[in-house]
Amino acid sequence: MNGKSENALILVVADGKEHADILTSLLAKQGYQTRVGLNARTAVQLAMKDPVPDLVVFDLKLSDNVGLEVCREIRRNLKIRNMLILTLTERPEGRDCVPIFEAGCDDCVEAPCNPQELILRIQAVLHRGAIKEQINCCGSPVFER
């Protein structure tokens, strides 16, 4: 992580180009750099590509076990396991984000969402990630995964 949330590199993973374009446009207006993946299966490969993204914004269907497995795979990979993950999900009636958090995601935003809320959540996740990185650099095990 570069420690500066406004210059963060964000990997956007969405099922369709139109949705990815909307997200990247929103992020670019905030000064973020973006990399785009159009399906869950390429997410890990794109996440490992240098420079490693600071955050993955992952459009995830709650019932999509492939998406949850990608989150778990990111957490198991030594190179990218500390990467931040924020998911956008359309939650079916009566379902919650518990499986998403159990898979290793840092935050879960219900879609569709207010663009301003999404940006604020991204900023908050990046800020927490920067604090975690500073603590870990000083040898504190408080936030280790």
Give the total number of structural domains in the chain. Answer: 1
Residue 55 lies in a domain: yes
Residue 142 lies in a domain: no
Residue 143 lies in a domain: no
Query: Measured between alpha carbons, how far is 83 from 59 in angstroms, rounded to an integer?
Result: 16
* pLDDT mean values, one per 10 residues, the chain (145 residues): 68 88 94 90 88 90 72 92 90 74 91 91 92 71 53
End-to-end CA distance of the chain: 16
Identify the CATH number of the domain in which residue 59 sits.
3.40.50.2300
Contact 31, 6 (CB under 8 A): yes
Domain with 110 in it: 5-137
For residue 89, what are its two tokens? Answer: 């999900």
Contact 26, 118 (CB under 8 A): yes
Residue 35 lies in a domain: yes
Q: What is the pTM of this model?
A: 0.84
